[in-house]
Amino acid sequence: MAKNNVVKAQGTDLFCIDPDSHQVLNAGCITSLSGIDTSIDQIETTCLNETARSYVAGLATPGTATFSINTNPQDAVHIRLLELKNAGASLDWAVGWSDGTSTPTAVANSDGDYEFDLPEDRSWLLFEGYMNSFSFDFAQNAVVTSSIGIQVSGEPVLIPKSSS
C-alpha cells in the first residue's frame, strides 16, 4: 500500500517582489508552473589515448521557467507583471508549496535590497529571474490565458517546511 506522503500541486502560490514598490505580488490564479531548473554543463577530459570519452561537471546553466494564468486586464497584478516584463526587470520569485498557506513579506537586507521573509510553516522554492515572454492566448470556448516565461538566473533554493 502506497503512503500519502506527497505534496499536491493544488494550493501552490507564486510570488515576486516588485522592485519599485518593494511589495510582494501574488501572481494569483496560476494554472501551471514548470521548468524551474538548472542543468549541469559537461567539460570533456578525454585523452587521445582513451577509447571512450570522459567528463567532469561544469557550470550550471539555468533554464526557463514557465507559468500560466487566466489573464484579466482588470487585475492590477497582471498589468504590473506585464510592465515588469516589458522593463526587463530581474525579480526575486518564491513558490509557496501547498503544505501551507502563509504569505511571505518583503524586508530590507543590510545592503538595502529587499528579499523575502518566509514563514516557516510552508515549503518554499526561491529563484531569481526576469520574464522573457508574456503571450496572450485567445481560443474558442475558453478564457483568455497567458503563458509567461522566466529566464532563471543562478540556482533555485528549496526550503522545506519547518518540522516543529
CATH code for the domain in which residue 113 is found: 4.10.410
CA angle 108, 129, 44 (to 5 degrees): 125
Q: 79 falls in which pLDDT band (50, 70, 90)?
A: very high
Given a contact cutoff of 8 angstroms between Cβ atoms, the answer to whether 159 and 119 are in contact is no
Q: What pLDDT sits at residue 4?
A: 73
User: In this structure, is residue 78 part of a structural domain?
Assistant: yes
Those residues whose C-beta lies under 8 Å from the C-beta of residue 49, and which sit 6 or more positions away, are none
2 within some domain: no
Instruction: Tell whether 19 is covered by a domain.
Output: yes
Question: Does any domain span residue 133?
Answer: yes
Nearest to 92 by CA among 101, 104, 102: 104
Could you give the number of structural domains in the chain? 1
Q: What is the dihedral of CA 153, 33, 79, 130, to 10 degrees?
A: 10
135's grid cell = 503571450
pLDDT tens across 17-49, in order?
A: 999 999 999 999 999 999 999 999 999 999 999
Q: Is the pLDDT of residue 163 over 90?
A: no
Three-state DSSP class for residue 59: strand
Q: Look up the pTM and report it.
A: 0.91
Indicate whether 51 belongs to any domain: yes
**What is the pLDDT, as a whole number, of residue 129?**
98
The whole domain housing 149 covers 13-159
Beta pairing partners, 64: 151
- Cα–Cα separations (whole angstroms), residue 45 to 38, 49, 51, 113, 132: 22, 12, 12, 41, 35
Q: Is 62 part of any domain?
A: yes
**Rounded average pLDDT over 69-98:** 97
Look up cell 525579480; give the residue: 91
pLDDT band at 3; cut points 50, 70, 90: low
In a domain, 7, yes or no: no
Kindly state whether residue 164 falls inside one of the protein's structural domains. no
Q: Is the pLDDT of residue 132 over 60?
A: yes
| Spatial CA neighbour of 148 closest among 93, 89, 85 | 85
Name residue 29's amino acid. C
